[in-house]
Protein backbone atom coordinates (compact mmCIF):
# COMPACT_ATOMS: atom_id res chain seq x y z
CA UNK A 1 0.00 0.00 0.00
CA UNK A 2 1.81 3.15 -1.25
CA UNK A 3 -0.22 5.76 0.71
CA UNK A 4 0.87 9.25 -0.41
CA UNK A 5 3.47 9.41 -3.18
CA UNK A 6 5.35 12.58 -4.12
CA UNK A 7 7.61 13.25 -7.10
CA UNK A 8 10.31 14.35 -7.51
CA UNK A 9 12.09 13.74 -4.20
CA UNK A 10 14.83 16.24 -5.01
CA UNK A 11 15.01 19.19 -7.40
CA UNK A 12 17.38 22.08 -7.97
CA UNK A 13 16.06 25.11 -9.84
CA UNK A 14 17.46 28.43 -10.92
CA UNK A 15 15.63 31.60 -9.96
CA UNK A 16 12.79 32.23 -12.39
CA UNK A 17 12.39 28.63 -13.52
CA UNK A 18 9.09 26.84 -13.13
CA UNK A 19 8.26 23.35 -11.95
CA UNK A 20 5.43 21.19 -10.71
CA UNK A 21 5.46 18.89 -7.70
CA UNK A 22 3.21 15.90 -8.14
CA UNK A 23 1.27 14.11 -5.42
CA UNK A 24 -0.98 11.07 -5.56
CA UNK A 25 -2.78 9.11 -2.85
CA UNK A 26 -4.35 5.68 -3.07
CA UNK A 27 -6.41 5.76 0.14
CA UNK A 28 -9.59 7.18 -1.45
CA UNK A 29 -9.24 10.33 0.67
CA UNK A 30 -11.27 13.34 -0.35
CA UNK A 31 -9.02 16.05 1.15
CA UNK A 32 -5.45 16.82 0.12
CA UNK A 33 -2.92 19.37 1.34
CA UNK A 34 0.45 20.92 0.50
CA UNK A 35 2.75 21.99 3.35
CA UNK A 36 6.26 23.40 3.40
CA UNK A 37 8.72 22.77 6.19
CA UNK A 38 11.38 25.33 7.05
CA UNK A 39 13.82 25.34 9.99
CA UNK A 40 12.28 26.96 13.05
CA UNK A 41 8.92 27.35 11.32
CA UNK A 42 7.42 23.91 11.45
CA UNK A 43 4.96 22.89 8.75
CA UNK A 44 2.99 25.66 7.09
CA UNK A 45 -0.05 25.08 4.91
CA UNK A 46 0.30 26.38 1.35
CA UNK A 47 -2.92 25.21 -0.29
CA UNK A 48 -5.50 22.55 0.35
CA UNK A 49 -8.32 20.84 -1.48
CA UNK A 50 -11.24 19.79 0.69
CA UNK A 51 -12.73 17.73 -2.13
CA UNK A 52 -12.30 17.07 -5.83
CA UNK A 53 -12.92 20.27 -7.76
CA UNK A 54 -12.17 22.68 -4.92
CA UNK A 55 -8.98 24.38 -3.79
CA UNK A 56 -8.32 26.99 -1.10
CA UNK A 57 -5.42 29.06 0.08
CA UNK A 58 -3.63 28.18 3.26
CA UNK A 59 -1.25 30.21 5.36
CA UNK A 60 1.49 30.86 2.75
CA UNK A 61 0.01 30.63 -0.79
CA UNK A 62 1.96 33.42 -2.53
CA UNK A 63 4.09 32.21 -5.43
CA UNK A 64 2.25 28.90 -5.77
CA UNK A 65 -0.64 27.45 -7.73
CA UNK A 66 -2.36 24.11 -7.31
CA UNK A 67 -4.49 21.76 -9.37
CA UNK A 68 -6.73 19.01 -8.04
CA UNK A 69 -6.54 16.86 -11.14
CA UNK A 70 -8.88 14.17 -9.82
CA UNK A 71 -9.62 12.56 -6.47
CA UNK A 72 -6.18 10.93 -6.33
CA UNK A 73 -3.89 13.70 -7.54
CA UNK A 74 -3.03 17.17 -6.25
CA UNK A 75 -0.16 19.10 -7.86
CA UNK A 76 1.73 22.18 -6.68
CA UNK A 77 3.23 24.54 -9.25
CA UNK A 78 5.91 27.18 -8.87
CA UNK A 79 5.59 29.51 -11.87
CA UNK A 80 8.72 31.56 -11.21
CA UNK A 81 10.84 30.05 -8.48
CA UNK A 82 12.55 32.29 -5.91
CA UNK A 83 15.29 31.44 -3.38
CA UNK A 84 12.70 31.97 -0.60
CA UNK A 85 10.91 28.89 -1.92
CA UNK A 86 13.84 26.67 -1.02
CA UNK A 87 12.18 24.23 1.34
CA UNK A 88 10.98 20.70 1.90
CA UNK A 89 7.46 20.24 0.58
CA UNK A 90 5.04 17.68 1.96
CA UNK A 91 1.80 16.52 0.45
CA UNK A 92 -0.81 15.05 2.78
CA UNK A 93 -4.30 13.64 2.62
CA UNK A 94 -7.18 12.60 4.85
CA UNK A 95 -10.85 11.80 4.77
CA UNK A 96 -13.16 14.64 5.76
CA UNK A 97 -15.28 14.94 7.73
CA UNK A 98 -12.95 13.25 10.11
CA UNK A 99 -13.25 12.50 13.79
CA UNK A 100 -9.49 12.63 14.26
CA UNK A 101 -8.06 15.25 11.92
CA UNK A 102 -5.16 12.87 11.30
CA UNK A 103 -3.17 13.56 8.14
CA UNK A 104 -1.22 11.02 6.12
CA UNK A 105 1.97 12.49 4.69
CA UNK A 106 4.21 11.71 1.75
CA UNK A 107 7.97 11.43 2.15
CA UNK A 108 8.62 14.99 1.03
CA UNK A 109 10.21 16.80 -1.90
CA UNK A 110 13.36 18.79 -1.22
CA UNK A 111 13.55 21.86 -3.47
CA UNK A 112 16.56 24.15 -3.77
CA UNK A 113 16.29 27.42 -5.70
CA UNK A 114 19.62 29.01 -6.60
Partner 1 sequence: DQQVKQNSPSLSVQEGRISILNCDYTNSMFDYFLWYKKYPAEGPTFLISISSIKDKNEDGRFTVFLNKSAKHLSLHIVPSQPGDSAVYFCAAASSNDYKLSFGAGTTVTVRA
**According to CB under 8 A, which one of 45, 55, 67, 77 is a site residue for partner 1?**
45
Contacts of 35 (CB under 8 A, 6+ apart): 43, 44, 45, 46, 89, 90, 91, 92
- Applying the rule CB under 8 A, the residues between 68 and 87 that interact with partner 1 are none
* Structural contact between residues 74 and 91, judged by C-beta atoms closer than 8 angstroms: yes
Nearest Cα to Cα of residue 108 among 12, 33, 8: 8
- Applying the rule CB under 8 A, the residues between 86 and 105 that interact with partner 1 are 90, 92, 94, 96-98, 100-105
Torsion sign (Cα): 61, 19, 23, 66? positive
2 binds partner 1 (CB under 8 A): no
48 binds partner 1 (CB under 8 A): yes
Q: Which residue, 4 or 66, is less far from partner 1 as judged by CB?
A: 4
Q: Which residues bind partner 1 (CB under 8 A)?
A: 4, 35, 40-45, 48, 58-59, 90, 92, 94, 96-98, 100-108
Amino acid sequence: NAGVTQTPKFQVLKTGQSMTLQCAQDMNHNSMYWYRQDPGMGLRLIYYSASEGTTDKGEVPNGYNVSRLNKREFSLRLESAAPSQTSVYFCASNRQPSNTGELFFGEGSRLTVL
